[in-house]
Amino acid sequence: MQPSKERDADDGDPLDDLDDLLDDDLASGGENSTSGPEPTTRSSKEDETATGTGGGSGRIGVDGRWFSLKSFALVVLVIGLGVVLGGAIPLIGGTIGPALGVLLGAFLVGLVFSARKYVEAGIAGAAAGAGTAVTSVLGVGFLPIGLDYLSEWGLPLLAVGGGLGVLLALVGHYFGRDLRAGVTSDVPE
């Protein structure tokens, strides 16, 4: 008799059980498949906290909990506007102005939005920092010299500019959220 390729019930691979449960959950649309109301001892707020859902389906990327494309577009617009306005400051416009623009733009995003937008601010800050670093090299002196410098030191320059942009955007967003929390919280008596 040949051995069967089917698993015995005793083998019970936990990952297969998890896959079956997830498939059942996805097929039912996240709803409970029981026939009646399920008695619960926890409140719905405790359930949301325990499962990590915030009112949505709780799946990564489905409800925009960690990254939202609309928010990202708005954050890119605000940080880009900050970079342009920071670069337009007459005496410090070169490299320091756009860096301050990233910081101020991310600060405003943190101040205005009630939800955390660290991922969006970080990505937008990295792009703004890297773009500012490259354009500052290409805008200095004669273009062939700038292109030669960029071909030799381009990746480290992008890394430093992007890293500085991420750092400034995250710090600005943090302080903007901190100010918002301080302004909107109740004053203790």
pLDDT tens for 157-182 read 889 999 999 999 999 999 999 998 88
Cα three-residue angle 11-28-34, rounded to 5 degrees: 80
Quote the CA–CA distance of 107 and 121 in Å, as a whole number: 10
pLDDT digits (tens, 9 = 90+) for 128-148: 999 888 888 776 766 777 778
In 10 A of CB 49, how many CB atoms?
Answer: 12
Contact criterion met (CB below 8 Å) for 169 and 131: no
Least confident range from 10-19, 81-90, 93-102, 179-188: namely 10-19
Give every CB contact of residue 129 below 8 A, 6+ residues apart in sequence: 99, 102, 161, 162, 163, 164, 165, 166, 168
Instruction: Identify the pLDDT of residue 185.
Output: 83
Domain layout of the chain by residue ranges = 69-184
Q: Would the pTM count as exceeding 0.85?
A: no
